[in-house]
Amino acid sequence: MRDSRLMAVCLCWLVTALSACGGGSNGADDGEPPSPAPTVALSASSTQVASGATVILTWTTQNATRCTASGAWSGPRNTSGSEQVTVAVTSTYVLTCAGTGGSAQAAVSVQATASPPVGPPTVTLSASATSVPPGTAVLLNWSSQNASSCTASGAWSGDRPTSGSEQVTVNADSAFRLACSGDGRTAEAVVQVSVRSLVIKAVQTELDVGRTTTLAFVLRSSGGSEEPVSPSAVAVTDQSIIELFGEGSERVAVALAKGAATVTANYGGQQAAVTLSVVNTPPVAAFGLPELSTVGSEIPLDGTFSSDADGDALTYSWTLAAAPAGSQAAIAGSSSASAALLPDRPGTYEIRLTVRDARVEDVTSSSTIVGIALSGVLPARTYLSGDGPFVMTGASEVASNSTVTFAAGSRIFGQGHELRVAGTLRISGSDAERVELIDVPIVPHSQDAAAPYRIEMAWCDMQGGSFLHPTGAPTYGSFSVADCTLAEVPYMYLWYPVAESQLVRNTFIGCEPVAVLLDGRSSTAETLAIRNNAFVDSQQSSFAPLTAIEIVEVRNPAQLTVAANSFLDVGQTSVRLAAGSYTRRMIDARDNYWGTDELAVIREMVFDETDDPAAPGVISFQPFLTAPDPATPE
């Protein structure tokens, strides 16, 4: 430093006169250089607080040896540090620090905002459980705001802190109240704890064998209110007496045998039980009734088939639950074990029997179909309306040169008795009202070629019985069967029809084969059309192997048409030339649907001389349909 000043003096002397360079004294000390000026930094932890809040003042200095606070605070302070101050109003805090180099000052202002008004007190109170068994310990928890004191009442009492928890024992329905006060105001909270016991409610506790009762599981309060619950476990002491079904809050108890069993349930640590007693075996009502009866024939009613396993005495009650419109029939001996009904109109009669022991009753019912009796030679030009039904009580006959018509809506119960046709039989149903034939064998009965039979069946349903089944004797006639369903009908022997005949738009279900015989020697050209029929589930016959159609004989000039049919037993022979057949010609079976479009499979469904030389003739089946003909039943 000293060398630098000397150089400056010399330089100044060279330029100007010594006097211009300040040859006089400048007052500077040629000793130590002057001390640096002090600095101070002051800050507040927040510059805006609520009135009455505190802030932290923090300061640091350099080149200072002492500090003094002023403004909103005062007094000496260290040269660095921090201090918490309470700010009641907006204030400025000043700190002045000095050293050998002078002094420095720093200030910070903190704005005080007005405190919000204190709100009313609030209190919350809760219980660890609000529904418990008797003697359960429950934990109460509470907290409050703006409150300085709390007081308990109700199921507990005394002063309590403004927040806390407490365990209490509950033996009855209880209301715990807590009132907390502050600033002259009070808030209250309450929590209810109910004491509820597990109960099994049974609709009945005394049962009869085979009967049921419902068990409901509930929690019942001391005040009587109930809440359904689902038990964690349910058991029965003897499952040979009582069996339980169901889940959730209910079970169905079924009485299996006489005795007693206890049902227990668990829920939430509680257990409940109920004992069910099975004290009686109910009677069983039973009686026999013929399936078919006829008008004017008394129907005996025998209730002695009823029984009671306990050997209890029984009472009987017979009622006519249903009868045809206009019937005045009544049951004779309606309170006896044996009774009788005399039906006065055709139709269905429903008879009900009620038997009772000392405790319970049992009811059963049965129906009989009462029809108009048919047997013997039916009158010529007979027209039987759909007001039947008709019950064949013996073989019936349509005589030669007679016509018998069963109108739409008719039902004929054959009971296996033959309906022999030497004249004309018309089964004349409609799409809306079909004719039903149940177990009616329709047998051709004309052996006079000059007076052939004629059978015309339309819109009918034939179940069982038979149609043109072989009789072992030659018969002469013709037929037309259209829009019918034939189910489980045995071998149909279409023996040399003497006039145009047909099977069209029918459904054959579970039937034995339809056998075709046309010898071409009739005085009129024989024609038989088998068109638009559906064959399904065809059955084997003692007369022929398994097939839908068996062609036994077709000779020129007879005409056989087999077309537009649906053969639905895929892979099974459906059209067969009989072994030893007299046919020896081409059989046209083109344009039929075989349930498949696979040529190899269809070929297996046709049986002719290519399969067995003993079946002379060839069945032509191509082209074939790849979908059912629209006119063929589905």
Tokens in use for 228?
Answer: 């359904």
Does residue 29 have a pLDDT over 70?
Answer: no
Query: What's the DSSP call for residue 568?
Result: -
Does residue 520 have a pLDDT over 80?
Answer: no
Residue 3 three-state SS? helix
Does residue 157 have a pLDDT over 50?
Answer: yes
Q: How far apart are CA 282 and CA 286, in angstroms?
A: 13
Residue 33 pLDDT: 79
Give the pLDDT band of residue 268 (cuts 50, 70, 90).
confident
Which residues contact residue 250 at a Cβ distance below 8 angstroms, ignoring those fewer than 6 apart?
A: 214, 215, 216, 217, 228
Residue 475 pLDDT: 87
Give the pLDDT band of residue 585 (cuts 50, 70, 90).
low
Average confidence (pLDDT) over 117-129: 91
Tokens in use for 267?
Answer: 């829920």
β-strand partners of 480: 456, 502
* pTM for this entry: 0.62
Residue 615 pLDDT: 85
pLDDT above 90 coverage of the chain, percent:
78
Q: How far apart are CA 10 and CA 4, in angstroms?
A: 10
Q: How far apart are CA 92 and CA 497, in angstroms?
A: 133
Q: How far apart are CA 389 and CA 571, in angstroms?
A: 41
Does residue 370 have a pLDDT over 60?
Answer: yes
Does residue 11 have a pLDDT over 80?
Answer: no
Give the pLDDT band of residue 386 (cuts 50, 70, 90).
confident
Question: pLDDT tens-digit profile of 421-440?
Answer: 999 999 999 999 999 999 99
Q: How far apart are CA 54 and CA 432, in angstroms?
A: 101
Average confidence (pLDDT) over 26-39: 70
Tokens in use for 602?
Answer: 């269809």
Which residues contact residue 38 at a Cβ distance below 8 angstroms, ignoring those fewer than 6 apart?
A: 61, 62, 63, 64, 97, 98, 99, 101, 102, 103, 104
In terms of average pLDDT, the best of 87-91, 345-349, 564-568 is 564-568
CB 324 within 8 A of CB 367: no
Does residue 624 have a pLDDT over 60?
Answer: yes
Query: Is 269 exposed, middle or buried (CB count within 10 Å of its CB: 0-12, 13-18, 19+)?
Result: exposed
Among 248-262, 351-365, 542-556, the minimum mean pLDDT is found in: 542-556
β-strand partners of 207: 278
Q: Beta-carbon neighbour count of residue 42 at 10 Å?
A: 19
Q: Which helix (H) or strand (E) holds 185?
A: strand 185-202
Residue 23 pLDDT: 41
Average confidence (pLDDT) over 393-419: 96
Give the pLDDT band of residue 525 (cuts 50, 70, 90).
low
pLDDT above 70 coverage of the chain, percent:
93
One-character DSSP codes across 194-227: EEEEEEEEES-SEEETT-EEEEEEEEEETTS-EE
CB 422 within 8 A of CB 445: yes
Query: What's the DSSP call for residue 430?
Result: -
For 605: left if phi > 0, alpha if psi spans -120 to 50, otherwise beta; the answer is alpha
Which residues contact residue 88 at a Cβ distance below 8 angstroms, ignoring those fewer than 6 apart?
A: 51, 52, 112
Q: How far apart are CA 214 and CA 205, in angstroms?
A: 10
CB 485 within 8 A of CB 463: no
Residue 26 pLDDT: 41
Q: How far apart are CA 421 and CA 502, in angstroms?
A: 18
Mean pLDDT, the chain, whole residue set: 90
Separation in Å, CA 600 to CA 63, 536, 604, 611, 623: 118, 20, 7, 14, 13
Alpha helices by DSSP H, 487-621 = 599-604
Q: How far apart are CA 45 and CA 85, in angstroms?
A: 11
Among 111-115, 315-319, 566-570, the minimum mean pLDDT is found in: 111-115
Residue 465 pLDDT: 97
Residue with token string 């619950």: 229
Q: How far apart are CA 181 and CA 160, in angstroms?
A: 11
Does residue 310 have a pLDDT over 80?
Answer: yes
One-character DSSP codes across 26-88: ----SSSPPPPPPEEEEEES-SEEETTEEEEEEEEEES-SEEEEEETS-EEE-SSEEEEEEES
Average confidence (pLDDT) over 596-601: 96
Q: 46 vs 34, which has greater pLDDT?
A: 46
β-strand partners of 82: 58
Residue 553 pLDDT: 86
End-to-end CA distance of the chain: 128
Q: How far apart are CA 366 and CA 288, in angstroms?
A: 8
Question: pLDDT tens-digit profile of 504-519?
Answer: 999 999 999 999 988 7
Average confidence (pLDDT) over 460-472: 94
Q: How far apart are CA 163 and CA 123, in angstroms?
A: 9
Tokens in use for 360?
Answer: 């319970």
One-character DSSP codes across 302-325: EGGG-B-TT----EEEEEEEE--T
Question: pLDDT tens-digit profile of 201-224?
Answer: 999 999 999 999 999 999 988 778
Which residues contact residue 634 at a Cβ distance below 8 angstroms, ignoring those fewer than 6 apart?
A: 534, 628
Of the candidates 308, 280, 143, the residue with the CA atom closest to the CA atom of residue 211: 280
Residue 473 pLDDT: 84
Residue 6 pLDDT: 38
Give the pLDDT band of residue 449 (cuts 50, 70, 90).
confident
CB 512 within 8 A of CB 490: yes
CB 590 within 8 A of CB 558: no
Question: pLDDT tens-digit profile of 65-77?
Answer: 999 999 999 999 9
Residue with token string 């075709």: 516
Average confidence (pLDDT) over 544-552: 94
Q: How far apart are CA 68 and CA 62, in angstroms?
A: 15
CB 278 within 8 A of CB 241: yes
Of the candidates 301, 286, 277, 304, the residue with the CA atom closest to the CA atom of residue 359: 277
Which residues contact residue 224 at a Cβ distance below 8 angstroms, ignoring those fewer than 6 apart?
A: none
